[in-house]
Amino acid sequence: MVQKTLLWSAIVASFASISTVLASDSDVLSLTDKNFKDEVLDKDLMLVEFFAPWCGHCKALAPEYELAATELKGNIPLAKVDCTENEALCQEHKVQGYPTLKVFRKGESSEYNGARKKDGIVSYMKKQNLPAVSDLTASDALDTFKTADKVVVVAYIKSDDKESKEAFDTLANKLRDDYSFGLVTDEQLAKGENVKEFPALVLYKDFDEKRADLSGAALKDGDWTAFVKSNAIPLLDQVDGDNFGTYADSGLPLGYAFTANEKDRATFDALLRPVATKYKGKINLVHIDGAKYAGHASNVGLKEEDFPAFAIQDLENQAKYPLLPKDGKLTTDAADDFVKGVIAGTIAPTLNSAAIPESNDGAVKVVVGKQFNEIVMDKSKDVFVEIYAPWCGHCKKLAPTWEKLGEQVKEKGGDSLVIAKLDGTENDIPPETHVHANGFPTLKFVKAETNEVVDYNGDRSYEDLVRFINEQATDRSFKLELKTEDTPVTEEKADESKDNKDAKDDDAANHDEL
C-alpha cells in the first residue's frame, strides 16, 4: 500500500502557548508540542489525529472528523496535531503516514482501527468508552443494549461459572474495537431470550436473520471468536472503503459481485444468496460498485467490460480467481461449483504477467509474473528484487542507484547474486512464494539455498544498500566495495512522500480504492 495521508494545518505559532486552542467554528482540539502533555496525558479517553496539511486523505477525513467531534462533544474529546509544525511530537508517537489516528487512555496509546466516516468514528469511540463487558441485570437494560449498535454480543453465563466469565472477558477485550459485549447471569432473563443451555453466546444484529446463537461450547474455545466474526458480517452487503477492513480481518476469502446498475445487482443478489448461505463461515460474498471501484477489477483478474462479473480474492496472499462463464452468464450452480473449487484448492489462481522479455542481459534483470519463481526463487543464488510502479516518485529516484548496484554486481562477476526488478502494476507475484508488496518500491532480498525472504526497510541510499547486501549475502566471500563517484543523492523523504502521493492520486483520479 502506498503511504497513508492526513488533515489540514494546525494553529499559528502566536497561539502555541495557549494550553488548548479551539477554533471558533471547530469542536476538534488543535494540539502542539507545547500543550500535548497537558491536554492528552491525563484524559481517560481521547482520539488524536496526526496529519499533514497537504495530505489528500486528511482533507477527505476533515469534515467527517469534525462532525464526529461535534457529536461526541462533552463526552469524548477529539484532537489533531499538524506534523509539519510538530515534527518531534509526531516522531515521538511513531507517526509514519498520514493520517494516523491514535486512541489515548491516560497517556497510553493504541492504534485506531475504525472507519473514517462520522458514524464509524462515533461508534468506535463509544465502544472504547464502555467497559469491555457491560453487566446486564435487568430486562430493560438488556433490551436497550441489544439495539445499541449494528452488532452486539451477549454471553449468558451462570453466576458461579468463573472460568467462562474470565474467558468471555478475554474475548471481549480482544474484539472490543469492533463489537460491544454484554453479560447476563440472571437465568430468568436468559429464559426470556429463549436461552436454554449455559454457557451461551447470542449475537444480535440489525440485518439478515437478526440473531445468531451458539451454546454448549467452552467460551475459551477459538470457535467463539470465529462465530462472532463470521456472523457479524452480512451475507451480501455492499463493500466499500469503510467496511473493507472488516472483511480483511475475518481471514476469509472474499467473493466480489461487480455490477454497474441496480438491475444487475438485484439479479446477482438472487443467484448468489444461496451460495453465500451455503458457504457462510468459509467465504464472504459482497456486492461492489463496478463504476466506483472499476480499478479494483484488475486486482482480481477482471476488466471493466466484463461487468457484471464475479471474482474471488484470497486477501491473505492476494491470490485472485475470476469467474468468466463461457456464455457470459452466471448461474447459481456455476457460482456454487466455482466457490467450492476455490475453497477446496482445486481451482488455480489467475496470475497477471507481462510478456517474457526477448532479451534479459541487462545489469538489472527484468522479472515478470510468469518467471518470478524461476528467477527470484532460484535457490542457487541470492536475489535482491525491487517491486516498483512506473508512476511512483520513490521508484524513479531509486532507479539510478538500483542500476548502479546491478552494474557493480555484473562487473564483479559470479552467479551468487542477482539484482532484479518487477513492475508491480503489471505482474502478480505467485501466492505460494509469500512475497508481498505493501507499497512502492518494495525491496526484498531472497536468500539462496533457503529462499528466506528478508525485507529491506532502511534508507535507499547507495551506501546503505551496499552495506545491506554485504550483511545478507549467503556467500560470505561476496563483498561489494563502495564506489563514491557519481553516487546518487539520498532521497529527500518528506518531499518524495508527497510526490509519490500525488502520483498515486493522479493514477487513481477516476476511481476510488478499497
User: What positions carry a catalytic annotation?
Assistant: 55, 58, 392, 395
Which residues neighbour 51 within 8 Å (Cβ) at sequence distance 6 or greater?
A: 6, 7, 8, 58, 61, 80, 81, 82, 83, 98, 99, 100
Cis bond upstream, residue 441 (ω within 30): yes
- Determine what percent of the chain falls in helix, strand and coil, rounding each to the nearest 5: 35, 20, 45
The strand pairing partners of 200, in sequence order, are 156, 215
Q: How many Cβ atoms are within 10 Å of 193's Cβ, its own excluded?
A: 18
**In which residue are the cell numbers 548502479 written?**
404
DSSP of 237-298 = EEP-TTTHHHHHHHTS-EEEEEESSHHHHHHHHHHHHHHHHHTTTT-EEEEEETTTTHHHHG
Q: Give the total residue count for the chain.
A: 514
Task: Give dist(CA 433, CA 351) in Å, integer.
Answer: 13
For 60-88, b/e burial (b = at least 16 CB within 10 A) is: ebbebbbbbbebbeeebbbbbbbbbbbee
